[in-house]
Amino acid sequence: SSTDIRTHNSLVGWQAGFDLWANIVPGISLGTDLRAGVYGNHAKYNTHVTGSTTAAGTTADLRETATNNDIAVVGEANIMVIYRISPNWTFRGGYSALFLDGVALAPENFNSTNPFNNVRAVRELNDDGHVFYHGGFLGLEWLW
């Protein structure tokens, strides 16, 4: 048998932030920006179990879904270096970080109860998850 769990988070809300830039030498700038927001999160999970054997010895599929509306928080921070190659071309690089709290994640919504034993109940959606994404970036920008 196989289990497929998919979560969906639809965030709607507002964010505020600022950026700060300093010209290090002509043509090279260093900057940072910070943003944070509070969002309404309409979260949902879908579970699909296939190929499981029932007590009667037959195979069957099972589908479960649950939704919830809650609050999510998002924070983002970036640090960047910009090098102006020419009036039209700019090279940029930096590091970016994104944090989300109050979201539904598939591993946290896994129901380990046997799907075909007649006592399995649909789990309430867990939308208390948090994730942290971060990494570097490089880019070339053309302005006309």
pLDDT at 100: 98
pLDDT at 57: 66
pTM of the model: 0.82
Low-confidence ranges of the chain (pLDDT < 50): none
Q: Mind listing the pLDDT tens digit for each residue in 98-138?
A: 999 999 999 999 988 877 777 788 889 999 999 999 999 99
Q: What phi, psi does 107 have (nearest 5°)?
A: -60, -30
Instruction: Decide if 82 contacts 73 (C-beta within 8 A).
Output: no
pLDDT at 56: 65
Q: What is the 3-state secondary structure (H, E, C) of the chain?
A: CEEEEEEEEEEEEEEEEEEEEEEEECCEEEEEEEEEEEEEEEEEEEEEEEEEECCCCCEEEEEEEEEEEEEEEEEEEEEEEEEECCCCEEEEEEEEEEEEEEECCCHHHCCCCCCCCCCCCCCCCCCCEEEEEEEEEEEEEECC
pLDDT at 53: 63
pLDDT at 121: 83
